[in-house]
Amino acid sequence: MPSQKDNKGCGCANIPISLMLVMLVGGFWGFRQLGKLDLGNTVAKQFGDVIPGLAKQKQPAPVAAVPPKHQQPTIKNPVASRSPKPIAPQKSSPSKPTPAQKTAKKTPQTPWQKKQIRGIYLSRYMVTNNASEKMIRNRVRYFRKQGINTIIHGVWGNGCAMYKSQVTRKYVGYSSCPNLFNPRWLDWLLDEAHKQGMQVHAYFEKGIKLDENSPIFDKAVAKGWMVPGVDKTFPGLDHYLLDVGNKAVSAFYREVVVEFVKRYPTIDAVQWDDYLGYHAELPSKTDRTAQLTKFVRQMKSDMKRANPKVSFDICHHNPYWGKRYFAADWKNWNVDRAFIQNYSEANFEKEMPYIEQIEGVALTEKQFHRLKSLVANPKVKSILVFPSKGNPKEAAAMVKKFTPIGN
């Protein structure tokens, strides 16, 4: 018997070739199912020579992945796909506040600031001696700082105008009062006041009353323009009253007012006072009340036709007192606004019901201790200050001390 030798190999030569082919083909099929590993190509390369036809089999073309709809397709242009250069941030200018924001920032008004008219009377003599433009403008600014929003300035008094008037020249031979004044004073006053957000009311001082110092006194006597008697309402000064029942007198005053509101179209109001009335002690058989009512109504109507924007105001005694003692039935005059003079401490409280029903009250320094209660009273719509001591700047400063006033 031949001798047996130890088997030093793995024994692969003893495995049938058919079994090896089955194992290779099965493994190759599994690798193809793992497309991602791409092992099929590797095996084909390695065993192409051993297994006929294996290398010649075509591999399936790779399927391109479809991008999700929300993704943008890949851009092949390398230039276009570059990220844009970052834009330097621009400095933004602060936006302007809206009207609502402006309103929100406003401080609440004080009771004094809520008054419709916070006025002060200035005599026509405040512009005499050729008061300069600078002086007039500074004066307006001063009163605004004291919390005043309306200047009631004398433009007429004692039968003459504090401006150049063609009407007075036609009727009495004078174009203005004999006082020295710059003819542009009221233009400056109006301009500055309106710039400061203030109003200017033209004050026709002394109304239809004249004293013997009036430049038209002698002519009025010669023309028969006076009513009989002497008005001694104010001790130490006699007054004489023009007769509004006289057609020439009525036309004179009505034309003066029309001329004025045309000459100064931006004036805010004209105001008459208790000198527009006939004291009850004057002798008369005529119904002065009816005559005065007719005259004032005509004057207001003429003025409104000439300049409807101007307010026609009166500052008088309370309606009962005015009609009973001054023939001034002003409740029937159809005025735009009425204010009551309350210069007497004796009847101050009794006047209050009248004051609360109309536009407001006029008082002097003697009533300043009442300012706190008047300002706190919402029924008192307006407060006018008449400087009885002849110093309106001092009076305005005193008002500021008595009331919380803003600029």
Alpha-carbon gap, residue 62 to 54, rounded angstroms: 19
Distance CA(199)–CA(268), nearest Å, equals 6
Helices (H) and strands (E) counted in the chain, each on its own, are: 13, 11
Confidence of residue 120 (pLDDT cuts 50, 70, 90): very high
Question: For position 311, what pLDDT does the model report?
Answer: 98
pLDDT at 401: 86
How many angstroms separate the CA atoms of 242 and 228, rounded? 9
Which amino acid does the sequence have at 383? I
Q: Specify if 55 maps to a domain.
A: no
Residues 230, 329, single domain; the answer is yes
- Residue 226 DSSP code: B
User: Which tokens belong to 63?
Assistant: 């399927």
| Whether 152 and 33 share a structural domain | no
pLDDT at 336 over 70: yes
User: For residue 10, is pLDDT > 60?
Assistant: no
Residue 80 has pLDDT above 60, yes or no: no
- The residue type found at 253 is Y
Residues 124 and 250 in one domain: yes
User: What's the total number of domains in the chain?
Assistant: 2
Are residues 272 and 348 located together in one domain of the fold? Answer: yes
Q: Is residue 137 part of a domain?
A: yes
Least confident of 16-20, 120-124, 269-273, 309-313: 16-20
**Is 63 within a domain?**
no
**pTM for the complete prediction?**
0.74
Query: Which pLDDT does position 286 carry in this prediction?
Result: 87
Q: Is residue 188 packed enough to be buried (19+ CB in 10 Å), middle (13-18) or exposed (0-12)?
A: buried
What residues have CB less than 8 Å from 214, skipping those under 6 apart? 158, 159, 160, 220
Look at residue 94 and tell me if it is in a domain: no
119 pLDDT above the threshold of 70:
yes
Whether the pLDDT of residue 344 is over 70: the answer is yes
Q: Is 33 helix (H, G, I), strand (E, B) or coil?
A: helix
Mean pLDDT, range 1-13, rounded to an integer: 45
Q: Which residue has the higher pLDDT, 347 or 150?
A: 150
- Proportion of the chain above pLDDT 90, given as a percent: 66
Residues 6 or more apart whose CB falls under 8 angstroms from that of 317 comprise 274, 325, 326, 328, 340, 341
Query: Residues 375-383: what's their mean pLDDT?
Result: 97
Mean pLDDT across 303-310: 98
List, in sequence order, every residue forming a beta bridge with 242; answer none if it has no partner.
226
Same domain for 34 and 137?
no
What is the pLDDT of the chain when averaged over all its residues? 83
What is the predicted pLDDT for the residue at 29?
47
CATH of residue 196: 3.20.20.70
**Location of structure tokens 């791409």:** 38
Residues 244, 357 within the same domain: yes
43 and 175, same domain (yes or no) = no
Residue 69 has what pLDDT? Answer: 45
Least confident interval from 176-180, 307-311, 332-336? 176-180
Task: List Cα–Cα distances, 274 to 216, 290, 333, in angstroms.
Answer: 21, 16, 13
Q: Which domain holds residue 23?
A: 15-47
Instruction: Please tell me whether residues 233 and 376 are part of one structural domain.
Output: yes
Residue 162 lies in a domain: yes
Confirm whether 103 is domain-assigned. no
Query: Is 290 a residue whose pLDDT tops 50?
Result: yes
pLDDT in tens, 225-257: 999 999 988 888 999 999 999 999 999 999 999
> Among the residues of 111-246, which ranges form H helices?
133-145, 166-172, 185-195, 217-223
pLDDT at 2 over 80: no
| Residue with more model confidence, 369 or 98 | 369
Q: Are residues 117 and 43 in the same domain?
A: no
Is residue 144 one of the residues assigned to a domain? yes
Does 200 share its domain with 285? Answer: yes
- The residue behind tokens 């007192």 is 321
Q: What is the mean pLDDT of residues 374-395?
A: 96
End-to-end CA distance of the chain: 140
Same domain, 167 and 31: no
Q: Is the pLDDT reported for residue 17 higher than 80?
A: no
**Residue partners of 193: CB distance under 8 A and separation at least 6:** 140, 151, 199, 200
Specify which of 56-70, 272-286, 321-335 reaches the highest per-range mean pLDDT. Answer: 321-335
Lowest mean pLDDT among 55-64, 192-201, 292-301: 55-64
292: enclosing H helix or E strand: helix 288-306
70 pLDDT band (50/70/90 cuts)?
very low
> Residue 239: inside a domain, yes or no?
yes
Pairing type for strands 337-341 and 240-241 reads unpaired
Assess whether 146 and 231 both reside in one domain: yes
3-state secondary structure 234-276: CCCCCEEEECCCCHHHHHHHHHHHHHHHHHCCCCCEEEECCCC
Q: What 3-state class would DSSP assign to 309?
A: coil
Q: Is the pLDDT of residue 36 over 80?
A: no
Biggest CA–CA distance in the chain, Å, is 187
Q: Give the pLDDT of residue 234.
A: 82
Which of 186, 196, 240, 200 has the alpha carbon at shortest distance from 217?
240
